[in-house]
Structure 1
Amino acid sequence: MILYLVRHGEAQLNVLGILHSRNYNDNPLTDKGRLEAAAVALLLHRMGVHGPVFTSPLLRARQTADCIDRNYKVDERLREIDMGEWELKKISEIPFDNYRKDPVRYHPPGGESMESVVNRVMDFLNFVRGINEKSVIAVSHWHPIATVVALVTGLPLSNIYKLRISTGSITAIDLDNDDVLFLNLSPLRVLRSLGLSDDGIMKECIR
């Protein structure tokens, strides 16, 4: 089974460098984010990837999932790490460098620990392994996706910020063999390189 981990498209607060993890109906996709979501959907469809779609409950993730399959299912285990006292603060206003260097030791004050993220991500992986499908698509956020990659590859959890996982990217994992097939693939860049126009890509989300 292949698990396709999709990071949501760019959202309004991403542009401003503001952390957001709680209000599930705030922080929609930007125009660029909608294009990234459409590109994810189009590339997955052209690759012949079919299977159930699960998504974080946050709006930016649900909007991305809706481009892929309007029959998506919300799964709380895919939500972003709870930012605690850092919620709705700019990255430049908090001691984010310490967190980036070792998110195991310096988790957000009053927020979620790495252990908590690992537990719910592992629970989701075990759930997916029990599904009789060739492919499963999960729309999530930087931290949960990076945690999955670390768990599969053996990368120390304290080093997950060495991973680059851009908005609108796809990371594919073979759960049968615990192999990372590709990491941080940009569908928008791929489709543009094949000569598709942005307007043509956007049609994937206007059905």
Structure 2
Amino acid sequence: MILYLVRHGEAQLNVLGMLHSRNYENNPLTDKGRLEVAAAALLLRRMGVHGPVFASPLLRARQTADCIDRNYKVDERLREIDMGEWELKKISEVPFDNYRKDPVRYHPPGGESMESVVNRAVDFLNFVKGVNEKSVIAVSHWHPIATIVALVTGLPLSNIYKLRISTGSITAIDLDNDDVVFLNLSPLRVLRSLGIGDSEIMRECGG
């Protein structure tokens, strides 16, 4: 089974460099984010990827999942790490460098620990392994996706910020062999390289 991990498209607070994890109805996709999402949906379809779609409950993830498959299901295990006292603060306003260097030790004050994120990531992976499908698509956020990659590859959890997981990217994991098929693939870059224009890409999501 292949698990396709899609990071949501660019959202409004991403542009502002602000941290957001709690209000599930806030922080919609930007125009760029909608294009990234349409590209992800189109590339998955052209790759022949079919299977159930699960999404974080946050708006930006649900908007992403809706473009891929309107019959997606919300799964709380895919939500972003709770930012605690850092919620709705700019990255430049908090000691984010310490967190980036070792998120196991320096989790957001009053927020969620790495252990908590790992527990729900493992629970989701075990759930997916029990799904009788060749492919499963999960729309989530940087931290949960990076955590899953680290768990599969054996990368120390303190080093997950060495990974790059861009908005709108797809990471594929072969759960049968615990192997990363590809990491941080940019559907928009791939489709543009094939000569597919943005207007055609946007039609994938009714744009």
Alpha-carbon separation, structure 2, partners of 1:78 and 1:191: 27
Corresponding position: 1:58 with 2:58: yes
Following superposition, the deviation at residue 35 of structure 1 comes to 0.3
Give the residue type in structure 2 aligned to 1:115. Answer: E
Report SS of the residue matched to 1:50.
coil
User: What code does the residue aligned with 1:44 have?
Assistant: L
Shift, 1:140, TM fit = 0.1
Matches within 5 A, 1:96-175: 96-175=96-175
Letter in 2 for 1:91: I
Gaps of 5+ in 2: none
Q: Matched residues in 2 for 1:102 and 1:64: separation? A: 29
Tell me by how many angstroms 1:139 deviates.
0.1
> How far off its partner does 1:37 sit?
0.3
Q: What is the number of residues matched between the two proteins?
A: 207
Question: What is the alpha-carbon distance in structure 2 between the residues aligned to residue 166 and residue 202 of structure 1?
Answer: 19
Q: 1:64, CA displacement in angstroms?
A: 0.3
* Deviation per residue, 1:84-140 (Å, 9 max, x gap): 000000000000000000000000000000000000000000000000000000000
Amino acid at match of 2:128: V
Superposed displacement of residue 197, structure 1:
0.6
1:148 shift after superposition:
0.3
Distance across 1 between alignment mates of 2:70 and 2:203:
15
User: 2: distance between equivalents of 1:190 and 1:201?
Assistant: 11
- What letter corresponds to residue 161 of structure 1 in structure 2? Y
Cα deviation for residue 58 of structure 1 reads 0.2
Q: Distance in 2 between matches of 1:149 and 1:64?
A: 20
TM-score computed with the length of structure 2 as normaliser = 1.00
TM-score (norm 1): 1.00
Separation in 2, partners of 1:61, 1:37: 10
* 1:68 matched residue in structure 2: 68
Aligned to 2:171, the other structure's residue is in SS state strand
Distance 1:11 1:2 in 2: 27
Residue in 2 aligned with 1:189?
A: 189
RMSD of aligned Cα (Å)? 0.6
CA-CA distance at 1:187 after TM superposition = 0.1
Distance 2:197 2:133 in 1: 32
Partners of 2:107 and 2:176 lie apart in 1 by: 31
Deviation at 1:75, TM superposition (A): 0.1
d(CA) in 2 for partners of 1:33, 1:77: 23
Segments of structure 1 that go 5 or more residues without pairing to the other structure are: none
Aligned residue for 1:178? 178
Shift of 1:50: 0.1
Aligned-partner SS, 2:88 = coil
**CA distance in structure 2 between the partners assigned to 1:47 and 1:141 by the alignment:** 22
- Output one character per residue of 1:123-170: Cα deviation in whole Å (capped at 9) or x when no partner: 000000000000000000000000000000000000000000000000
Residue type of the alignment partner of 1:186 = S
Distance (Å, rounded) in 1 between the aligned partners of 2:204 and 2:79: 25
